[in-house]
Structure 1
């Protein structure tokens, strides 16, 4: 399967998992609505770790492979068209492409780091709150 087909398949799979809805000027269907109330907004630390691992082990390496392939093909075209204005144009396109890939890779790495940091932070807060609550003396613990 080529890169374009695989990318299209991954995009389609991601789109099929998205919940799209809009609610204007009405009360929530169930009590307690508000931000974060939808079922599609919940994720677990395991899901966040899996997403971070996918970025690290699949998306970034595949992006590098695609970049290398495009760089080789463009470099070949630039060499074949040496002395033509088209070669200069392709070199400009290649430079722009490389900048965009660096930006994308940096963004993916930030997202990966944010996912992992969120797991650590939220788990730590959850454990800390649980310990704080457990440390409060209560007559209910007798039962």
Structure 2
């Protein structure tokens, strides 16, 4: 195919395609979802389930990844001791496994700890707000008592 023929085919293809892009979607209603406030709702039970799953994954993965690490290191040592080059490669894999496992465990601990902190902070905020509202009600009652109601 000659260069001119290639350029002609590209030009023809460009003529057949529309330069505009069209996306199939709903009309924009403003905001981040179906309502002005958005449609993402998360309750305490949802957050508790996520925190529990992260905690369980942390505990289970700690146990099972430890077994895999020990077995891999033992196999690597045995292979290296017998003069197999595969032993060094398996040792490298075991080292990377340990590093990646620590990263996953750190992430699980971070999620679990953050959700526990968030729950405690929300409980403290709720308690503070209840106290503030109660104080306002007591103050209002005092004003009503002074008026003779």
TM range (shorter): 0.5 to 0.7
Change (3 A) 1:24 1:71: farther
Q: What TM-score do the two structures reach when normalised by structure 1?
A: 0.63
| Residue 100 of structure 1, CA deviation | 1.0
User: Structure 1 segments of 4 or more deviating over 2 A?
Assistant: 22-30, 46-56
2:70 is equivalent to residue 72 of structure 1 = yes
The question of whether the paired residues in 2 share the 8 Å contact of 1:48 and 1:116 is answered with no
Change (3 A) 1:99 1:129: same
Change (3 A) 1:116 1:23: farther
For residues 102-124 of structure 1, give each alpha carbon's deviation from its aligned partner in whole angstroms, at most 9, with x where no partner exists.
11111211111111100111111
Distance 1:61 1:120 in 2: 22
Aligned residues: 112
Gaps of at least 5 residues in structure 1 are 1-21
Distance 2:99 2:41 in 1: 33
Gaps of at least 5 residues in structure 2 are 1-24, 145-149
Q: Which of the two has higher C-alpha Rg?
A: 2
Q: What TM-score do the two structures reach when normalised by structure 2?
A: 0.61
| Aligned Cα root-mean-square deviation (Å) | 2.7
Change (3 A) 1:74 1:102: same
